[in-house]
Every structure is written in C-alpha cells, then in structure tokens.
Amino acid sequence: MNNLKGTGVALVTPFKKDKSVDYKSLEKLINFVSNNGVDYLVVMGTTAENPTLSIDEKDKIIKFVIKINNKKLPIVLGVGGYDTKAVIEKLKNINNKDISAILSVAPYYNKPNQNGLFEHFSEIAKNSKLPIILYNVPGRTGVNILPNTVIKLASKHKNIISVKEASGNIDQIMQIIKQKPSNFNVISGDDSLTLALISVGVSGVISVVANALPKKFSEMVNFALNGNFDDARKIHYKLLEFSNLIFAEGSPAGIKYSLNKLKIIENYLRLPLVPISKELENKINTCLNGIK
C-alpha cells in the first residue's frame, strides 16, 4: 500500500486522426510522466475514455503500458461496472504479476442503494487476488458511497485498501479519514482540492493534471505530504486555474488539448466527446504560458 501514496496519474488514451490508438504517443506520455516525479500509473480509468475502447483495445493498451513501464512504477488498473458478475469475470483475466491494485468505480446508471453498494464491492473483494481501491465519483455515477459504507467495507475486507474520493464533499472525506482503519488510505480524486485534503489526512491523489504537469504537481503533493505547506501552497496556486480550466468543458478534452500543446499527443477524442472550444483553448494557452 505504501507504494500507492503520493501522485498517481490517470493516463489518457492518445488517438490518431483516424481515431485508432496512438501507441507512439502513449509511449511518449508514459515516459514523460514517469520521468517527472509521479509515483504510480492508473490505466483504464475514466480519463482513458474507457467506455469508447473495445475489449481488444483495452487488452492491448494494458499490455503496452506494462511493457513500456518495465516495472519502473506500480500500475493500478481500472476494473468496474454496473454488473457485479461481469466485473468479477473481468478480474479473472488480469495479469496479477504486473498490476499492483485495481481501481473499481461505484456502479453507475442503475444507482444501487448503500446495501447494494456494500454487497457489490464485497463480492468484488471476495473474488479479487489484488488489492482494491474504491472509486467514489457521484458526479459521474449518480450514486454516492457514504462514509459508513466505506468504513464497513474497509473493516470487513482487508484487501480493500483505500478509496479514491471525488465527491468534492470535504466534510464527507473527513468523516472517512476520522473513522477509517489505520491501514486504509483515502486518495484525493479532485486535483484542485488535493492540497486541502492532504492537510486533513489524505495520502495523495489520482490526478488528471499530472498528465501535463507531472513535475510541478508531484512536487506540490510531496511538499504537502512532508508537512511543507508553504512551498506546497505556492505551487498549488500556480496550478489552480489550470486545474479548473481543463475540466471546464469535460474531461479528458481539456487535458488532451494541453498535452497536444506540449507536443506529447495529438488532440483527438472519440465521440461522444469532442474537442474544447477556441475560447477555452486561449485560456489554457495563457495559463500554461504562465506556469514556470
């Protein structure tokens, strides 16, 4: 669990103009973030445009990331869904040797209640050979994993090691931190709230911003985790506007544009996602130019 503290980066999936996967750019991105201070890679999360990728594409991307990473950093793999049985079937095909943990999002669309959420994640825990990070992002899933449910899961299943909290509700996150078992971590799922959340006890972040600004963002996280909030705060406020702008017209459209400006990937998404507006492009350009 200790190697999943600090800054994890939720990798985007680069595409070519014909919308096929751009493996050359993906290799460039992996090397860029891993050489600039991030602590682990997150593959097949929402930022990867996971819903638009075929099963075959997902499998090839996972194998490619494992190959390029070459055991340099831990890899967390996104494995979730709204059908518990189907999620369990996915777990059977994971290469446990090269994956450090799975990140499993709350079931979306069918909106189970708290008992349903508890049973869903309990079944996943019983069937997973890998540690599990719960992922609470009610703005996307339509359902909120409440603190009592997180604590019950963490207390009952030792292989549920942490929760990525992206509810944006700091009081809720503090309730989890206050009640959690000592060996359970809480991870920020919101880039702009990460500094504040570290101050109340989270162990790090799974970041979108770190795709484009891995060195700066990792420095901020490390300063904060080491109690140096003066230096962490200076970086936080340099990055704050950028952290908000990249989500202004949906993710990962903003971060993909930024990576294109940095000449790391091409600026292509798969429908239903579309590129950001010219107005937002101009704002991001100005912001990136001001970050030293």
Q: Could you state, in chain order, the average pLDDT of each consecutive group of 10 residues for the chain (292 residues)? A: 87 98 98 98 96 96 97 97 96 90 96 98 97 97 98 98 98 98 97 98 98 98 98 98 97 98 98 98 97 82
Nearest to 139 by CA among 170, 166, 105: 166
Is residue 242, in this structure, part of any structural domain at all? no
Take residue 15 and report the two structure tokens written for it. 């595409």
Nearest to 209 by CA among 232, 193, 197, 196: 193
Identify whether 164 is a catalytic site residue: yes
What domain count does the chain have? Answer: 1
How far, in Å, are 47, 64, 132 from residue 278 at the CA level?
Answer: 21, 33, 40
Check residue 3 and give its pLDDT: 77
Q: Which residues contact 53 (CB under 8 A, 6 or more apart)?
A: 13, 21, 44, 61
Q: Which residues contact 277 (CB under 8 A, 6 or more apart)?
A: 249
Is residue 20, in this structure, part of any structural domain at all? yes
Which CATH number do you get for residue 91?
3.20.20.70
Check residue 34 and give its pLDDT: 98
The one catalytic residue among 40, 58, 90, 135: 135
Check residue 95 and give its pLDDT: 78
Label the pairing between strands 132-136 and 6-10: unpaired
Is residue 23, in this structure, part of any structural domain at all? yes
Identify whether 5 is a catalytic site residue: no
Taking the C-alpha atoms of residue 194 and residue 224, their distance in angstroms, rounded to an integer, is: 9
The one catalytic residue among 164, 180, 216, 256: 164
Q: Are 208 and 252 in contact (CB under 8 A)?
A: yes
pLDDT digits (tens, 9 = 90+) for 7-31: 999 999 999 999 999 999 999 999 9
- Measured at the CA of 237, the angle between CA 232 and CA 242, to 5 degrees, comes to 120
Is residue 10, in this structure, part of any structural domain at all? yes
Taking the C-alpha atoms of residue 273 and residue 161, their distance in angstroms, rounded to an integer, is: 32
Is residue 280, in this structure, part of any structural domain at all? no
Is residue 87, in this structure, part of any structural domain at all? yes
Check residue 93 and give its pLDDT: 86
Check residue 2 and give its pLDDT: 59
Q: What is the pTM of this model?
A: 0.97
- Please name the amino acid found at residue 32: F
Is residue 120, in this structure, part of any structural domain at all? yes
pLDDT digits (tens, 9 = 90+) for 234-281: 999 999 999 999 999 999 999 999 999 999 999 999 999 999 999 999
Q: State percent of the chain over pLDDT 70.
A: 99
Q: Are 132 and 160 in contact (CB under 8 A)?
A: yes
Print the domain residue range for 133: 2-226
| Residue 18 burial by Cβ neighbours in a 10 Å radius (0-12, 13-18, 19+) | exposed
Check residue 81 and give its pLDDT: 95
Is residue 237, in this structure, part of any structural domain at all? no
Check residue 1 and give its pLDDT: 53
